[in-house]
Amino acid sequence: MAINLDHIVPWGRTRKEYELMFGLEPADLAAGVLDCGGGPSSFTAEMAADGLHAVSVDPIYAVPGREIRARFEATVGPMLAQVRATPDQWVWRYHRNPDDLCANRRAALDRFLLDYELQRGGNQMLRLRRP
């Protein structure tokens, strides 16, 4: 995957993506999860909705949700352009194509932001540079 980044991009993932990426089993999830560098992932919100414990840490949690969304919107075009330019370098099993990838990232962001605004100052999302 030939993506060139000159800064951190706020592209979050869903709980399902975490489970697949990290091989998380139900017992792992039941034990609780520390999500380091979680960014605008919907993982913590989805865990909480299922009554499971997760804490996400990321420096981006110092800024308001509207700024996180603005950062996402500023990166979505350039990111998708790079993905579209290198389609053969991607494994299209979970995401069917670049548009599906974008839709999934946007859905994760939307779910994250709903929870984020409710949790500001709470203990599920912590602003830390290093856990």
pTM for the model:
0.87
Write the burial class of residue 116 (CB in 10 Å: 0-12 exposed, 13-18 middle, 19+ buried): buried
Closest CA to 40 of 115, 96, 100: 115
**Mean pLDDT value across residues 62-73:** 94
Q: What is the pLDDT of residues 82-129, one digit of tens each?
A: 999 998 888 899 999 999 999 999 999 999 999 998 876 455 666 655
- What is the DSSP code (8-state) at residue 54? E
**What is the three-state SS of 56-115?**
EECHHHHCCHHHHHHHHHHHHHHHHHHHHHCHHHCCCCCCCCHHHHHHHHHHHHHHHHHH
Write the burial class of residue 51 (CB in 10 Å: 0-12 exposed, 13-18 middle, 19+ buried): exposed
Q: What is the pLDDT of residues 34-51, one digit of tens each?
A: 999 999 999 999 999 999
Q: Is residue 54 a contact partner of residue 35, using CB atoms and an 8 Å limit?
A: yes
**What is the predicted pLDDT for the residue at 131?**
47
